[in-house]
Amino acid sequence: MVRLLQTGYPDAHCELDFTTPLELLVAVVLSAQTTDKGVNLATPALFRRYRTAEDYASADRTELEELIRSTGFYRNKANSLLGLGAALVERFDGEVPSKLEDLVTLPGVGRKTANVVLGDAFGVPGITVDTHLGRLVRRWGWTTEEDPVKVEHAVGAMIERKDWTLFNHRTIFHGRRVCHAKKPACGACFLAPQCPSYGIGEVDPDKAAKLVKGDEAPHLIELADRVRAGERLG
Protein backbone atom coordinates (compact mmCIF):
# COMPACT_ATOMS: atom_id res chain seq x y z
CA MET A 1 0.00 0.00 0.00
CA VAL A 2 2.92 2.34 0.68
CA ARG A 3 4.24 1.63 -2.82
CA LEU A 4 0.82 2.17 -4.38
CA LEU A 5 0.40 5.49 -2.59
CA GLN A 6 3.69 6.59 -4.13
CA THR A 7 2.32 5.69 -7.56
CA GLY A 8 -0.90 7.54 -6.86
CA TYR A 9 0.63 10.66 -5.36
CA PRO A 10 4.20 11.09 -6.60
CA ASP A 11 4.06 14.84 -5.98
CA ALA A 12 2.41 14.80 -2.55
CA HIS A 13 3.61 17.60 -0.29
CA CYS A 14 2.64 19.85 2.57
CA GLU A 15 -0.27 21.93 1.28
CA LEU A 16 0.47 24.88 3.55
CA ASP A 17 2.46 27.65 1.85
CA PHE A 18 5.69 28.65 3.62
CA THR A 19 9.31 29.59 3.00
CA THR A 20 10.84 29.35 6.50
CA PRO A 21 10.41 27.12 9.58
CA LEU A 22 8.73 30.03 11.39
CA GLU A 23 6.22 30.53 8.60
CA LEU A 24 5.38 26.82 8.59
CA LEU A 25 5.01 26.77 12.37
CA VAL A 26 2.64 29.73 12.27
CA ALA A 27 0.67 28.26 9.38
CA VAL A 28 0.19 24.95 11.19
CA VAL A 29 -1.01 26.75 14.33
CA LEU A 30 -3.53 28.64 12.17
CA SER A 31 -4.69 25.46 10.42
CA ALA A 32 -6.54 24.16 13.49
CA GLN A 33 -10.27 23.82 12.76
CA THR A 34 -9.93 25.17 9.22
CA THR A 35 -8.59 24.21 5.80
CA ASP A 36 -5.08 24.59 4.42
CA LYS A 37 -6.59 26.60 1.57
CA GLY A 38 -8.11 29.02 4.02
CA VAL A 39 -4.82 29.42 5.85
CA ASN A 40 -2.97 30.03 2.57
CA LEU A 41 -5.33 32.91 1.80
CA ALA A 42 -4.55 34.57 5.14
CA THR A 43 -0.82 34.05 5.46
CA PRO A 44 0.63 36.20 2.64
CA ALA A 45 -0.38 39.43 4.39
CA LEU A 46 0.51 37.98 7.79
CA PHE A 47 3.98 36.91 6.69
CA ARG A 48 4.65 40.30 5.11
CA ARG A 49 3.78 42.01 8.39
CA TYR A 50 5.52 39.60 10.77
CA ARG A 51 8.85 38.22 9.59
CA THR A 52 10.55 37.19 12.84
CA ALA A 53 9.70 35.71 16.21
CA GLU A 54 10.34 39.16 17.68
CA ASP A 55 7.65 40.57 15.39
CA TYR A 56 5.07 38.13 16.75
CA ALA A 57 6.17 38.67 20.34
CA SER A 58 5.65 42.42 20.05
CA ALA A 59 2.61 42.33 17.76
CA ASP A 60 -0.40 44.52 18.35
CA ARG A 61 -3.14 42.09 19.33
CA THR A 62 -5.93 43.89 17.47
CA GLU A 63 -3.93 44.03 14.24
CA LEU A 64 -2.84 40.40 14.55
CA GLU A 65 -6.38 39.21 15.22
CA GLU A 66 -7.67 41.06 12.17
CA LEU A 67 -5.06 39.47 9.91
CA ILE A 68 -5.97 35.94 11.03
CA ARG A 69 -9.70 36.45 11.63
CA SER A 70 -10.67 34.47 8.53
CA THR A 71 -9.04 31.30 9.89
CA GLY A 72 -11.52 31.10 12.79
CA PHE A 73 -10.92 31.00 16.54
CA TYR A 74 -8.71 33.99 15.89
CA ARG A 75 -8.52 35.16 19.52
CA ASN A 76 -7.16 31.83 20.72
CA LYS A 77 -4.83 31.63 17.74
CA ALA A 78 -3.58 35.17 18.40
CA ASN A 79 -2.82 34.13 21.98
CA SER A 80 -0.82 31.20 20.65
CA LEU A 81 1.13 33.32 18.16
CA LEU A 82 1.94 36.01 20.72
CA GLY A 83 3.06 33.36 23.20
CA LEU A 84 4.92 31.48 20.48
CA GLY A 85 6.90 34.54 19.49
CA ALA A 86 7.77 35.35 23.10
CA ALA A 87 8.84 31.78 23.85
CA LEU A 88 11.05 31.59 20.77
CA VAL A 89 12.74 34.86 21.69
CA GLU A 90 13.18 34.02 25.36
CA ARG A 91 14.28 30.40 25.06
CA PHE A 92 15.54 29.77 21.53
CA ASP A 93 17.15 33.06 20.43
CA GLY A 94 14.23 33.72 18.10
CA GLU A 95 14.80 30.54 16.08
CA VAL A 96 12.40 27.61 15.63
CA PRO A 97 13.98 24.58 17.35
CA SER A 98 14.56 21.43 15.34
CA LYS A 99 13.88 18.90 18.10
CA LEU A 100 10.51 17.42 18.99
CA GLU A 101 11.03 17.77 22.73
CA ASP A 102 11.66 21.51 22.31
CA LEU A 103 8.87 22.19 19.82
CA VAL A 104 6.15 20.68 22.01
CA THR A 105 7.01 23.12 24.83
CA LEU A 106 5.90 26.07 22.69
CA PRO A 107 2.41 27.63 23.08
CA GLY A 108 -0.10 26.14 20.65
CA VAL A 109 2.30 23.42 19.52
CA GLY A 110 1.43 19.78 20.10
CA ARG A 111 3.04 16.64 18.80
CA LYS A 112 1.12 16.79 15.52
CA THR A 113 2.27 20.34 14.77
CA ALA A 114 5.82 19.50 15.81
CA ASN A 115 6.00 16.54 13.42
CA VAL A 116 4.81 18.68 10.51
CA VAL A 117 7.51 21.25 11.20
CA LEU A 118 10.20 18.62 11.68
CA GLY A 119 9.32 16.77 8.50
CA ASP A 120 8.76 19.68 6.14
CA ALA A 121 11.01 22.43 7.51
CA PHE A 122 13.93 20.37 8.82
CA GLY A 123 13.77 17.10 6.89
CA VAL A 124 13.39 15.04 10.07
CA PRO A 125 11.08 12.07 9.35
CA GLY A 126 7.78 12.25 11.20
CA ILE A 127 4.23 10.92 11.11
CA THR A 128 1.52 13.51 11.63
CA VAL A 129 -1.69 11.87 12.78
CA ASP A 130 -4.38 14.25 11.63
CA THR A 131 -8.01 13.24 11.06
CA HIS A 132 -7.28 11.92 7.56
CA LEU A 133 -4.32 9.71 8.46
CA GLY A 134 -6.02 8.34 11.56
CA ARG A 135 -9.19 7.53 9.63
CA LEU A 136 -7.37 5.81 6.78
CA VAL A 137 -5.00 3.61 8.77
CA ARG A 138 -7.93 2.37 10.83
CA ARG A 139 -9.95 1.67 7.68
CA TRP A 140 -6.97 -0.20 6.28
CA GLY A 141 -6.82 -2.32 9.43
CA TRP A 142 -3.32 -1.14 10.32
CA THR A 143 -4.40 -0.29 13.86
CA THR A 144 -7.49 0.01 16.00
CA GLU A 145 -5.98 2.72 18.18
CA GLU A 146 -7.75 6.07 18.46
CA ASP A 147 -5.10 7.94 20.44
CA PRO A 148 -2.94 9.90 17.94
CA VAL A 149 0.34 9.12 19.70
CA LYS A 150 -0.44 5.39 19.74
CA VAL A 151 -1.43 5.56 16.07
CA GLU A 152 1.83 7.36 15.29
CA HIS A 153 3.89 4.66 16.97
CA ALA A 154 1.89 1.81 15.43
CA VAL A 155 2.26 3.15 11.90
CA GLY A 156 5.88 4.10 12.44
CA ALA A 157 6.69 0.52 13.36
CA MET A 158 5.26 -0.75 10.06
CA ILE A 159 7.14 1.35 7.54
CA GLU A 160 10.72 2.54 7.13
CA ARG A 161 11.58 5.73 8.98
CA LYS A 162 12.88 7.41 5.83
CA ASP A 163 9.39 7.05 4.31
CA TRP A 164 7.45 8.55 7.22
CA THR A 165 7.04 12.13 6.01
CA LEU A 166 6.09 11.31 2.42
CA PHE A 167 3.81 8.50 3.55
CA ASN A 168 2.14 11.05 5.76
CA HIS A 169 1.55 13.49 2.88
CA ARG A 170 0.38 10.78 0.49
CA THR A 171 -2.09 9.39 3.00
CA ILE A 172 -3.48 12.85 3.71
CA PHE A 173 -3.80 13.48 -0.04
CA HIS A 174 -5.71 10.20 -0.38
CA GLY A 175 -7.99 11.10 2.52
CA ARG A 176 -8.81 14.47 1.00
CA ARG A 177 -9.28 13.25 -2.55
CA VAL A 178 -10.68 9.71 -2.43
CA CYS A 179 -11.21 8.19 1.00
CA HIS A 180 -13.57 10.82 2.38
CA ALA A 181 -14.95 10.64 5.90
CA LYS A 182 -18.64 10.43 5.01
CA LYS A 183 -18.70 8.92 1.54
CA PRO A 184 -15.44 7.40 0.33
CA ALA A 185 -15.08 6.76 -3.40
CA CYS A 186 -14.44 3.02 -3.05
CA GLY A 187 -15.28 2.25 -6.69
CA ALA A 188 -12.64 4.73 -7.89
CA CYS A 189 -9.89 3.79 -5.44
CA PHE A 190 -6.66 2.18 -6.63
CA LEU A 191 -6.17 0.69 -3.14
CA ALA A 192 -9.48 -1.18 -3.29
CA PRO A 193 -8.00 -4.73 -3.60
CA GLN A 194 -5.90 -4.18 -0.45
CA CYS A 195 -8.54 -2.38 1.61
CA PRO A 196 -10.54 -4.41 4.16
CA SER A 197 -13.07 -1.57 4.35
CA TYR A 198 -13.92 -1.63 0.65
CA GLY A 199 -17.65 -1.18 0.27
CA ILE A 200 -18.29 1.32 3.05
CA GLY A 201 -18.59 3.97 0.36
CA GLU A 202 -19.82 4.21 -3.23
CA VAL A 203 -18.70 1.13 -5.18
CA ASP A 204 -20.18 1.93 -8.59
CA PRO A 205 -17.15 3.10 -10.63
CA ASP A 206 -18.95 5.88 -12.47
CA LYS A 207 -20.67 7.25 -9.38
CA ALA A 208 -17.50 6.91 -7.32
CA ALA A 209 -15.46 8.76 -9.95
CA LYS A 210 -17.65 11.82 -9.41
CA LEU A 211 -16.64 11.84 -5.74
CA VAL A 212 -12.90 12.05 -6.43
CA LYS A 213 -11.58 15.56 -5.77
CA GLY A 214 -8.53 17.58 -6.73
CA ASP A 215 -6.43 18.18 -9.80
CA GLU A 216 -5.21 14.59 -9.62
CA ALA A 217 -8.71 13.18 -10.18
CA PRO A 218 -8.18 11.99 -13.80
CA HIS A 219 -4.91 10.28 -12.83
CA LEU A 220 -6.47 8.61 -9.77
CA ILE A 221 -9.52 7.41 -11.68
CA GLU A 222 -7.26 6.00 -14.40
CA LEU A 223 -5.25 4.07 -11.80
CA ALA A 224 -8.45 2.66 -10.31
CA ASP A 225 -9.61 1.56 -13.77
CA ARG A 226 -6.28 -0.19 -14.38
CA VAL A 227 -6.48 -1.99 -11.03
CA ARG A 228 -10.05 -3.06 -11.75
CA ALA A 229 -8.83 -4.46 -15.09
CA GLY A 230 -6.35 -6.62 -13.23
CA GLU A 231 -3.20 -4.61 -13.80
CA ARG A 232 -0.56 -4.62 -11.08
CA LEU A 233 0.63 -1.12 -10.21
CA GLY A 234 4.00 -0.14 -8.78
Is residue 202 within 8 A of residue 208, CB to CB? The reply is yes
210 catalytic? Reply is no
3-class secondary structure, 13: coil
- Taking the C-alpha atoms of residue 20 and residue 120, their distance in angstroms, rounded to an integer, is 10
Angle of CA points 61, 62, 64, to nearest 5°: 65
183 catalytic? Reply is no
3-class secondary structure, 94: coil
Amino acid found at 182: K
Is residue 19 within 8 A of residue 44, CB to CB? The reply is no
Is residue 190 within 8 A of residue 223, CB to CB? The reply is yes
**What's the 3-state SS for 186-214?**
HHHCCCHHHCCCCCCCCCCHHHHHCCCCC
Is residue 30 within 8 A of residue 42, CB to CB? The reply is yes
Write down the catalytic residue from 17, 130, 163, 225.
130
Helix (H), strand (E) at residue 219 = helix 217-228
**What's the 3-state SS for 124-151?**
CCCCCCCHHHHHHHHHCCCCCCCCHHHH
Query: Which residues are marked as active site?
Result: 112, 130
